[in-house]
Amino acid sequence: MKADPTAQRRLLELAGLDAELARAQYRRRTLPEATAVEEAETTVQGHRDAVVRARTSVSDLGREVAKLEQEVTQVRTREDRDRGLMDSGSVSAKQMTDLSHELDTLARRRGVLEDEQLEVMERHDAAETDLAHEQAELDRAETALADAVERRDGVLGDLDVLEERRGAERTEVAKDLPADLVGLYDQLRARSGTGAGELVGGRCGACRLEMDRSELRDVAAAAPDDVVRCEQCGAIVVRTEKSK
Ligand SMILES: [Zn+2]
């Protein structure tokens, strides 16, 4: 293939833009800001689960407190009834003794229930404190996640702008070049990642490998408008003033 040496040199500009676009795409795939968002999401999920657990604990204990309250009320009602009977004067001496015994039993029972109620209420209070703590942790984690998302979207937005600009520049450069030359360049780039490299210090700019004597002799002997290819990587070897 033959191509005007100026056009060949402009391939280097195309290669530079393509390299920058490839770096942007790599960056997009490996963003630490995206990893940070994933980590923040995991943290938020962990705190959400903790809040659910704490809330369940508060409601379970709340129910237990209510149940004990009800039991205490039942005992009190029974005590009131027994006292009412004793005060009525309508019961026998035997019944008076029985009722008196029952009142002792009921008082003991109420004491046990009230102690238990107090203990459960304390646990309920502690669970509420725990819930408030977990909720605060969740709020903090959600704020951190929102910040991480904002940072990631900022970087992605910058990459969008960069890719759009370099893409437009690439279109402009490619438009001015011979179609067959760009076609070959694109084909080589699709194969190995780099379509063209500058020959500097006896090295191919695409694969960075040194050319041997005979290859360098062939390159030197080639006409300026010959499209020379690297024997190692196949890329178009562009000769500039730095190649001498
Ligand atoms: Zn090469």
Helices (H), 177-238: 179-192, 213-221
Please give the distance, rounded to the nearest whole angstrom, from the Cα atom of residue 70 to the centre of ligand 1. 87
Q: Report the sign of the C-alpha dihedral through residues 88, 90, 92, 94, in that order.
A: negative
pLDDT tens figures, 185-211: 999 999 988 999 999 999 999 999 999
pLDDT at position 244 is: 80
pLDDT at position 26 is: 96
pLDDT at position 232 is: 94
Using CA atoms, how far apart are residues 188 and 185, in angstroms rounded to an integer?
5
pLDDT tens figures, 45-78: 999 999 999 999 999 999 999 999 999 999 999 9
Please give the distance, rounded to the nearest whole angstrom, from the Cα atom of residue 203 to the centre of ligand 1. 8
Helix (H) or strand (E) holding 236: strand 236-238
Please give the distance, rounded to the nearest whole angstrom, from the Cα atom of residue 171 to the centre of ligand 1. 25
| Two tokens, residue 18 | 């393509």
Please give the distance, rounded to the nearest whole angstrom, from the Cα atom of residue 200 to the centre of ligand 1. 11
3 backbone dihedrals φ, ψ, rounded to 5° = -155, 145
